[in-house]
Amino acid sequence: MTGHEISLMGQARRMHSRIVSGSLAIAALLMSCACSSDKPAEQPAVSVQAVAVEKTTIQHTVQAQAILFPLQQAAITPKVSAPVQKFLVKRGSPVKAGQLLAVLENRDLSAAAQDTEGAYKQAQAVYETTTTANLPEEIRKAEADAQQAQQALDAQEKVYQSRQQLFEQGALPRKELDQSRVEITQARNQYDIANQHLDKLMAIGKEQELKAAEGQRDSAKGKYMGAQAQLSYSEIHSPIDGVVTDRPLYPGEMAAAGTPLLTVMDVSSLIAKAHIPQDDAAALKVGDKGTMSVPGIEKPIEGKVTVVSPALDPNSTTVEVWFEAKNPKRELKPGTSVHLSLTAQTLKDALVVPATSILTGPDGSTAVMLAGSDGMAHQKAVKLGVRNGDDVQIVDGVSENDKVVTAGAYGLPDKTKIKIEAPEAPAEESKPSAERSKAPSEGSGDK
């Protein structure tokens, strides 16, 4: 055989050996597949994290944003329009209730008050003169006239009686007896008129005279008091204790009636006003304690609820709640936005789980995944109670020391095999350990 034929025969033998080895490999693969199909596939365990249900104390805390307002505030407006004569305080000045803050120009008002004071004194003098002099004199004169009329009547009656006796004896003509009868009638009429005049002075006359004099006096007094009030309006006093927070005008400028001249705020305590949803507000009551977080102040400030509005805000359907906190150092400023944390309820021996363990269904139902002793995850419907941050109270559905899945429960089917893993260490804790492990190698490199 030639060399070429020998080469072709070698290639044919190598091709045959490759085909045989490939066939053997396929056969082995088919046999292994057949063997594996006879045994069921083992379910892999899902890695999860779990914690035990804890019996502890939990607080129902209501969180809300609020705005600070002063305990009291007075925007002081003058009742008269006049230039400002002088200010006695400036912004930031502490003031007391009743303290004089400013004085307006008041020379015209002072003159009017002096004029009306003189008229009042004159009317008072007329009233005293009327009550002590005129009326008693007229009454004494009327009494004298009545007494004289009585005496004249008595005299005429005696004359008439004596003449009647003489007429009966025939010693006196009838004409004189009739004349005496006319005179006694006239005397009786004079007596009646005198008595009526005296009675009028004692009753109607005296009362009317006194009323007239009293009316003039009271009218003058009212005008005087009105002028005094107008004069007092030129002096601006503080109605409350507090601090002057606004003074827009300078001395000499015109202060208009009805326009605020000064603003005084009582900042010894501040009120944080918050609008809270109805469900949360229903758990709050006056006296509930809480804390207030203020930007720029590290430590939360303690206080208490002072007002829970009995009605809802029609625009936001929320309830306005007032939270009062002391401000002895005046660190709190009205108008600041703060965060409130109000303790509405404290429950002892409550079953508490992390909020991450709660599963919420499409229909709003709640459940947890329990890590069973059989190594399986079991879904259990639960009833929730108070929620406080990352903790949730379970009212019904679990027992103390049950383990609930906190990580890996979402989308996990019921009765799935699980493997509980320890939670990962925070990055801050792992970083120092890495640096410590790295340090010897650096040191050995230096050597």
pLDDT tier at 93, thresholds 50, 70, 90:
very high
| pLDDT of 433 above 60 | no
Q: Considering the domain boundaries, does residue 360 fall inside one?
A: yes
Arithmetic mean of pLDDT, 277-282: 89
CA distances from 94 to 103, 264, 323, 325 (A): 18, 9, 24, 20
| pLDDT of 61 above 70 | yes
Q: Considering the domain boundaries, does residue 283 fall inside one?
A: yes
Q: Do 179 and 272 fall into the same domain? A: no
pLDDT tier at 205, thresholds 50, 70, 90:
low
86 vs 445, higher pLDDT: 86
Q: Considering the domain boundaries, does residue 83 fall inside one?
A: yes
Q: Do 413 and 271 fall into the same domain? A: yes
pLDDT tier at 432, thresholds 50, 70, 90:
very low
Total structural domains in the chain? 3
250 vs 188, higher pLDDT: 250
* 243: CATH: 2.40.50.100
Q: Considering the domain boundaries, does residue 426 fall inside one?
A: no
pLDDT at residue 136, as a whole number? 62
All residues at 6 or more sequence positions from 366 whose CB lies less than 8 Å from its CB, including other chains:
358, 359, 360, 381, 382, 383, 384
Q: Do 213 and 291 fall into the same domain? A: no
Q: Do 210 and 286 fall into the same domain? A: no
Residue type, 333: K
Lowest mean pLDDT among 24-33, 43-52, 183-192: 24-33
Q: Do 214 and 253 fall into the same domain? A: no
pLDDT at residue 308, as a whole number? 95
pLDDT digits (tens, 9 = 90+) for 99-141: 999 999 988 888 888 888 888 888 888 777 766 655 566 777 7
Lowest mean pLDDT among 58-62, 147-151, 198-202, 306-310: 198-202
Arithmetic mean of pLDDT, 281-305: 93
Q: Do 328 and 409 fall into the same domain? A: yes
Measured CA to CA, the distance from residue 259 to residue 238 in angstroms comes to 16
Where are any strands of DSSP class E within 176-251?
235-237, 242-246
Q: Considering the domain boundaries, does residue 28 fall inside one?
A: no
Q: Do 197 and 211 fall into the same domain? A: yes
All residues at 6 or more sequence positions from 103 whose CB lies less than 8 Å from its CB, including other chains:
84, 85, 86, 88, 234, 235, 236
CA distances from 346 to 95, 212, 285, 401 (A): 42, 75, 13, 22
pLDDT at residue 424, as a whole number? 67
Structure tokens at 378: 């079991």
> CB-based burial of residue 438 (10 Å sphere; 0-12 exposed, 13-18 middle, 19+ buried)?
exposed
pLDDT at residue 442, as a whole number? 40
pLDDT tier at 13, thresholds 50, 70, 90:
low
pLDDT at residue 347, as a whole number? 85
What domain range includes position 222? 108-232
Instruction: Quickly tell me which residue has 């939270």 as its tokens.
Output: 323
Measured CA to CA, the distance from residue 233 to residue 399 in angstroms comes to 74
pLDDT tier at 270, thresholds 50, 70, 90:
very high
Q: Considering the domain boundaries, does residue 12 fall inside one?
A: no
Structure tokens at 266: 């009582």
Q: Do 311 and 323 fall into the same domain? A: yes
Arithmetic mean of pLDDT, 210-235: 84
From 402, 410, 426, select the one nearest 53 (Cα to Cα).
Answer: 402
Measured CA to CA, the distance from residue 420 to residue 406 in angstroms comes to 10
Q: Considering the domain boundaries, does residue 57 fall inside one?
A: no
| pLDDT of 164 above 60 | yes
| pLDDT of 85 above 60 | yes
Length of the chain as a residue count: 447
pLDDT at residue 311, as a whole number? 92
* 272: CATH: 2.40.30.170
Contact status, residue 394 vs residue 367, Cβ threshold 8 Å: no
pLDDT at residue 47, as a whole number? 81
Measured CA to CA, the distance from residue 307 to residue 288 in angstroms comes to 10
Q: Do 393 and 312 fall into the same domain? A: yes
Q: Do 221 and 362 fall into the same domain? A: no
For the chain, give the percent of residues with pLDDT over 90. Answer: 30
Q: Do 318 and 246 fall into the same domain? A: no
pLDDT at residue 39, as a whole number? 47
Q: Do 166 and 151 fall into the same domain? A: yes
Q: Considering the domain boundaries, does residue 253 fall inside one?
A: yes
pLDDT tier at 59, thresholds 50, 70, 90:
confident
Lowest mean pLDDT among 26-40, 90-104, 257-271, 352-366: 26-40
Lowest mean pLDDT among 29-33, 144-148, 170-174: 29-33
Domain end among 213, 232, 251:
232
Measured CA to CA, the distance from residue 262 to residue 115 in angstroms comes to 31
Tell me the CA end-to-end span of the chain in Å, nearest whole number: 73
The Cβ of residue 172 has, within 10 Å, a number of other Cβ atoms equal to 16
Contact status, residue 302 vs residue 283, Cβ threshold 8 Å: no
Mean residue pLDDT of the chain comes to 81
